[in-house]
Amino acid sequence: MYKIYTIKKKIVFSSEMIILFGLLDDLPKEALHCYNCKGLSRYGNVINWCKEHIEYVNNIMDADFVVLPFKFKNVNDPVFQILDKLTKNIKKKLWCFYNDDDDTSHEIDDNVILFRTSFYKSNKKENEKAMIAISPDYYRGKISDNISIGYCGYYTAYNRRFPDGIFKGRAWYINYLNKCKVPNSFIIRKGFWAQGLDKSIARKQYFENMENNIFMFCIRGAGNFSYRFYEILMMGRIPIFIDTDCVLPYEKLIKKAEVGIFINESDIISNKINLEQEILRYIENNKNKLPEIQKQNRLLWEKLYSPIGFLNMLLNTENLT
């Protein structure tokens, strides 16, 4: 059993703080869209898992490591500074968690490990680690035989100027895929979080779109990470992942070629890779394996990217990315 110290009276429970959920008796109340179609919380059985695997000690000297009791803010936060100095003096690690679009680089000491969603592989610090983003589990055990590309979401999120002077982002990719030989099923929203539509209805449509298509287009949003990537694996579908210098949790444990189509955006920018040809090649090479890949991707989510899977790997391996 792992021993964690935190300042209990300072705890603010949020999605990135699941490692402290063992101190709760009930899951936090959230908006309806944070529950699945069965009314189940996105956190699943995290409370019981934490109670079985973690002891929250009152003496910091008894702890294996220390956890900042709320979402990381910045290095100037007074509570962070207290724990940073304290853990440095007693030679223990301070774990901080930051689920946010913000990709600001922070000058953190070697005793601090910052788990975060949005940052860049090219300038990643040794003590910055990737963490998951948590969504409701809508998986119903269905395997799709519909060789098509799905996407449901905002059209213009993530927009950048390419060397040819043209702004390219989700809109550009969606228009590109619309012209490809592979069929698609796109639901384009008017704004972020399905503006103007009831959120529970929007979430249901979102996951039904995943359920009905084998492939799902996936690229970053405002932050340099994608909720959608984890949701695609949760639904047992195959990602077409445009990698914008992202960092994935436990990345070295993933055989990407067996999971889906991962393409560096820099290769698209330089015309080194033709996206349509890569998709068609993947389908041709794996046409008899698509049901099994879907099953394996669901298992991969359960093992690495579900709330319990992430925590289990976090506490029991040295494979932090």
Q: Are residues 125 and 202 in the same domain?
A: no
Strands 167-169 and 159-161: antiparallel
User: 190-234, pLDDT tens digit by residue?
Assistant: 777 767 788 888 888 999 999 999 999 999 988 999 999 999 999
141 belongs to a structural domain: no
Q: What pLDDT shows up at residue 214?
A: 98
Encode the chain (321 residues) as per-residue pLDDT tens digits.
899 999 999 999 999 999 999 999 999 999 888 999 889 999 999 999 999 999 999 999 999 999 999 999 999 999 999 999 999 999 999 999 999 999 999 999 999 999 999 999 999 999 999 999 999 999 999 999 999 999 999 876 666 666 666 666 788 899 999 999 999 999 998 777 767 788 888 888 999 999 999 999 999 988 999 999 999 999 999 999 999 999 999 999 999 999 999 999 999 988 899 999 999 999 999 999 999 999 999 999 999 999 999 999 999 865 444
Q: Are residues 203 and 105 in the same domain?
A: no
Q: How far is CA 173 from CA 139, 176, 180, 190, 260, in A?
A: 27, 5, 11, 17, 17
User: 243-278, pLDDT tens digit by residue?
Assistant: 999 999 999 999 999 999 999 999 998 889 999 999
**307-316 vs 46-53: helix crossing angle, rounded to 10:** 20
> Can you give the pTM of this predicted structure?
0.94
163 belongs to a structural domain: yes
Domain span including residue 79: 2-135+307-316
Q: Are residues 183 and 277 in the same domain?
A: yes
Q: Provide the domain count of the chain.
A: 2
Q: What pLDDT shows up at residue 320?
A: 45
